């Protein structure tokens, strides 16, 4: 792949400093410049990562961007449309998730990128985490038979204060966290028939919208896909958990996502799997993990953009045309939560 494409980053928040830029450094991607409404933040980030130019304005970032550039837009969902309006037609742009604050905004983003003929992707990077790549390889080679069950279980204490903008958001847990798992399930199973969900707040985090969610993605009578998250387990590490389990007709895989436990310090990731040995289960095996979700998965998101710009693929795997369906699932989850369950009487 040609890595001569330059990247211009719009936004200098925490995710840029802890994931985007470390990932690009690992991959050898060239970052030409950075812009943030808070110029001091942009200057600090530029100094830390040897970025040659800090732009004074979004317009300057557009005007002075190199000829072959990918705009990496890492801002809250509410700001994406405004920035896309300022980017040139036919630009290549990777926008941070979510794809807008709700499905209506996601549709506006989709129409805008179509109108401007952009190569546009969304940074749903969990799809490209090293352990997820390993899971795909195991499934492709038949290690667990036919995939029929995906379960995501997160029971951790998340320091939400690290993302101050979330305290103003009417949607938090599903839109900014479980959205990753919804997107991941879609990447394995395709679009569900429907979504059942309940997302709730917590007495000790009353300043925030919902911080705990139960989500069922409906794939019919033979496939189960469940997402269970609790970000409020502040009772030590002993029973904190963060895993994705894939079960098939002939085996199972369990991935521990260590980054979410004791965040942001994190714990080691792990991959274990078992295959049937005749009529009985064999021994569980452990596979070494090289790299993790943060920052390594962010390489995959940008790689898709570069491949599409180089015309090595028709469009990014994480294109807006695909990710609009992740946003539709998120909207369905919130609607399901609002409508509630079936009354007893």
**Taking the domains of the chain in order of start, what are their residue ranges?**
6-123, 127-287
Structure-token pair, residue 11: 């936004």
The span from the CA of 2 to the CA of 139, in Å, is 30
The span from the CA of 117 to the CA of 91, in Å, is 8
Give pLDDT tens digits for 44-56. 999 999 999 999 9
Beta strands (DSSP E) in the chain are 6-10, 30-35, 69-73, 92-96, 119-123, 147-155, 194-200, 212-218, 224-230, 241-248, 251-256, 270-277, 280-281, 285-287
How far is the first Cα of the chain from the last one, in angstroms, to the nearest whole number? 62
What is the predicted pLDDT for the residue at 279?
Answer: 84
The CATH number assigned to the domain with range 6-123 reads 3.40.50.720
DSSP state of 88: P
Is the CATH code 3.40.1670.10 the one for domain 127-287?
Answer: no
Strands 194-200 and 69-73 come out as unpaired
Q: How confident is the model at residue 73 (pLDDT cuts 50, 70, 90)?
A: very high
What is the predicted pLDDT for the residue at 3?
Answer: 53
**pTM (two decimals):** 0.95
Strands 251-256 and 241-248 come out as antiparallel
Give pLDDT tens digits for 261-289. 999 899 999 999 999 988 888 899 999 99
């Amino acid at each position: 792949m040609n890595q001569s494409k330059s990247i211009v980053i719009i936004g200098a928040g925490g995710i840029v400093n802890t994931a985007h830029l470390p990932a690009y450094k690992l991959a050898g991607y060239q970052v030409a410049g950075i812009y943030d409404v808070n110029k001091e933040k942009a200057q600090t980030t530029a100094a830390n990562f040897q970025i040659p130019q800090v732009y004074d304005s979004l317009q300057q970032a557009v005007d002075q961007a190199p000829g072959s550039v990918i705009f990496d837009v890492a801002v809250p969902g509410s700001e994406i449309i405004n920035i896309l309006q300022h980017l040139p037609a036919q630009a290549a742009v990777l926008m941070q998730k979510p794809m807008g604050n709700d499905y209506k905004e996601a549709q506006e983003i989709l129409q805008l990128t179509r109108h401007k003929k952009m190569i546009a992707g969304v940074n749903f990077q969990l799809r490209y985490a090293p352990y997820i790549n390993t899971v795909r390889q195991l499934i492709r080679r038949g290690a667990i038979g036919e995939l029929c069950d995906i379960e995501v279980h997160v029971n951790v204490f998340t320091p939400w204060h690290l993302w101050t903008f979330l305290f103003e958001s009417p949607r938090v847990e599903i839109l900014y966290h479980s959205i990753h798992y919804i997107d991941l399930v879609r990447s394995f199973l395709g679009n569900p028939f429907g979504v059942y969900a309940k997302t709730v707040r917590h007495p000790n985090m009353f300043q925030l919208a919902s911080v705990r969610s139960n989500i069922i993605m409906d794939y019919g009578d033979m496939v189960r896909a469940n997402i269970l998250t609790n970000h409020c387990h502040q009772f030590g590490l002993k029973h904190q958990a963060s895993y994705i389990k894939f079960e098939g007709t002939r085996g199972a895989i369990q991935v521990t996502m260590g980054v979410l436990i004791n965040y942001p310090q994190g714990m080691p990731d792990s991959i274990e799997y078992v295959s049937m040995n005749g009529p009985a289960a064999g021994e569980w095996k452990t596979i070494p993990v090289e790299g993790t979700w943060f920052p390594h998965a962010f390489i995959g998101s940008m790689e898709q953009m570069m491949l599409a710009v180089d015309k090595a693929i028709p469009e990014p795997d994480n294109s807006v045309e695909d990710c609009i369906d992740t946003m539709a699932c998120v909207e369905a989850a919130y609607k399901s939560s609002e409508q509630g369950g079936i009354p007893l009487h």
